[in-house]
Structure 1
């Protein structure tokens, strides 16, 4: 498949470097990879080089590249009505909301649509503050919630530090048994001690000041960290005890990534607000939103909600949601992600860990996995940035698109990935890790 105008990888990169300013990057040394097309779990450049995409781009391409049902839904909506103001009633918007609500817990019936995950978290924070009359938001150090005002300050990693412009944010340590902050030796102990730490943080900050606890159901960018048994249920109990809104961020983990429609379906927890974005339509059109519990939605029956976006519920995004969710249901794509994780990908990664001492831990579920790389299994010393750079370079040289973060390889193929594609990727990981 070629672009309509004859090009080359070199000309595409030259055009990019002349005019495009890239995120999270020093611009001078960039050499971006060229991608011009894709299908399913594969992508290719303009000169015929094909990659197996185990990055899902930014861990959002759940339905795979160029799924025909989603493309057709976008085209159909574009032919019907390409844009409309958010104040109007529109059939596609209502149908998209209806489909999302159908996958939410009981007692969630309203959707506020946004442009993406960051502003979904912004608006969830706004709702929590208005609902409680309080200001402070608690979130973990190991988290990423987006790059807008409050969302980036809610983020726990280094990216918040140059961006501390929003008020009322406090961080705490979440569970991470492999590198426990609590000297825990079992998942149960990690959960108990992490909950005690959270409660002491609530008490120290003053429960009467805290509007919300904001958590990724399964932290993604921070390391793909499934919570230990009882942790999320324990957070729910603490929020109930102290009158705090619980917001679960499902931007990365939602809509098939964990092998469930929502990641929270695998844990004994119902939050007050759920944020979502790229997974809901695999990022084909920018979109996000807040799934609102009935009690919080009721606050705004008479009170004006002081928030809005020009493109809230944009028709093309709504069409893409309808097309994606219907296809995922019809084709059993979420079930495929669960099966792949349990029967193929998870066991395959564990077999790699048995073979390669550089792998300190394997963790994940569905098509949402991490390999944590260490220089010494006993001390758990992370490998260096130089080693990770080499690992990524070797993987890409073998035509495997990957995401590396800190000392981890994130193994995150589309939910439509096949057994044979997993076997192909595992062979490449095996070959590359043999070098270290």
Structure 2
């Protein structure tokens, strides 16, 4: 049954042609050419622009890249020069595969990484100065140009090549056949960056007249999105496609395409939001898939719950796989642990949950061989903590004065613990794909 919008029937039902116009844009900020049109300026962004915040932490899809790209644009607009380092420039998987194991030769990678990072950043700044001040008669600029010419003549080598080459030099000394005294002297020289130490005053002088700003993406203040900010973000993307809605409120813009309230009384946006970790990328992805389904069906009405559920299974599967990928280094094979709960209830008492986790820990239920390596280190409570940490579980809490229990996630309440929780819920994001027994409608939308 088709339903029309019920937020005072704002604008009436939506036509097929309007669905065809609607485009939320790519979920990844680095591929969104119109990011500036839909970017939501937050206090965090303003603090970044003012230099009051210099490190941003957030999970995948939380909006770090969007902040990064907009900060680069604003910085260039002030006539500063910018060096952008994106994940491809320092792939940790590439570094892991390129270097010897830390146990071999007992060389400390942490200190080596720090020294190599400093070296790579200085080299990138010097390359920019050499290009910018190519005709400068200043002695400092000339010394920088000579260093770049002699040591980094190959212009097609990227930042990752510079980083790895310096790490290789450290690695070679640490595990190579050097005499102890020679090894100590050479390592001291590399760790202290003595090769470029004399050029640092020249770099500082060159940057006084025209600063160079280095922006490092994916350093992996914490980014946190509330319901209002996420609704504003998605409404801005709708307005970009349908400029006539520019003067409507965010809720009214949403209600032009989505049934405002579902039959059980849940707001449709709350239903969508409950199936995310409150990250912009997930909201965009879910909404985009729903719009595509509406476009294929040729519906003339606002999108209802039935339409949302058509894409929920696929979306749920993609989110489970992406969550497993996000924690592939900390908890490899964790998707197989999620699968243990397939077909069961969505809500579990602590006793039920710990019994299942005990069976996982004892090997009574099979998991991926990669997961066995870390699962065996935990007892049942430890596995509960892991599942809470990665977002698979929500913990039931009862707020003072509130009649009903609500379920919270680590992503919205990062400092909450789960040791006192007596009831748990598998996150609604994963329920459709795992075929979990239906929770109550109010809980699903909450």
Structure number with higher strand proportion: 1
Q: Larger Rg: 1 or 2? A: 2
TM bracket (short chain): under 0.3
| Normalised TM-score (structure 2) | 0.24
| Normalised TM-score (structure 1) | 0.24
